[in-house]
Amino acid sequence: MKQIAKKIFVTSTSAAALFIGAQATASANLAQAPSQTSSSNVNYQNPSGSQVTAQTATVTEQVSNQVTPTVATTNTTVPQVAAVSSAPATSMDTASLLAYAQNFIGTPYQWGGSTPAGFDCSGFTQYVFSHFGKNIGRTTYQQQYAGTRISVDQAQPGDLLFWGDSPYHVAIYLGNGQYISAPTYGQTVSIQSMAYYYPSFAVRVN
């Protein structure tokens, strides 16, 4: 096991809301996932309902203005995981889910993206869960109904975390106050801390 120190930065001057969309098709041709860390300023920007054409989907987003808090530096230890397999898993356990998700650290954010070529937030969570035979839907709106809604303090590793009552961002909880997600434009899939960007609620996937 190799441990990698990673730093994450999030700024507070922008409005959140960048994640959603319409149906996208996961690619069957899965690339070798990078195993690296990124140091980034996560700055959620509101596209104000603009329609954007991405590589894998045309996505229309309507979001309300949200403001993210200022983020300090945090050090995260990320275990090295095995190479990604394109074959669907025959069963899902929490350790396998989290290890698989971390294979995509460093994958670039792409509006409407739902493959390892590029992910948006809900495209990333959909891709990870679908590998284990779980259909949680494509958008943050759909994914909030993929299981049992619980409070954030009840969240366990493998649960989904959501921001906003009408959610505009989704991530996978890793435990110890950390989560993994595809943040925003110019960023990559990375691990962040709830201490600096606290979710609104969690969902335990059925």
Give pLDDT, residue 32: 38
| Residue 199 C-alpha from the chain's centroid | 13
Q: In the 8-state DSSP scheme, what is residue 21? A: -
- At 44, phi and psi to the nearest 5? -75, 125
Note the residue count of the chain: 206
Q: Which CATH superfamily is domain 3-205 in?
A: endopeptidase domain like (from Nostoc punctiforme) (3.90.1720.10)
**All residues at 6 or more sequence positions from 95 whose CB lies less than 8 Å from its CB, including other chains:** none
Rounded Cα gap, residues 115 and 7, in angstroms: 25
Measure the CA dihedral 200/36/102/95, to 10°: -120
Q: Which segments of the chain have a pLDDT < 70? A: 1-91
Give pLDDT, residue 109: 98
Closest by Cα among 148, 10, 134 to 71: 10
**Beta carbons of 167 and 41 less than 8 angstroms apart:** no
Q: What is the tally of helices (H) and strands (E) in the chain?
A: 3, 15
Largest Cα span, the chain: 44
Give pLDDT, residue 30: 33
Give pLDDT, residue 136: 98
Give pLDDT, residue 166: 96
- Annotated domain spans of the chain: 3-205
pTM to 2 decimals?
Answer: 0.59
Give pLDDT, residue 92: 73
Closest by Cα among 199, 194, 193, 192 to 165: 199
**Beta carbons of 160 and 179 less than 8 angstroms apart:** no
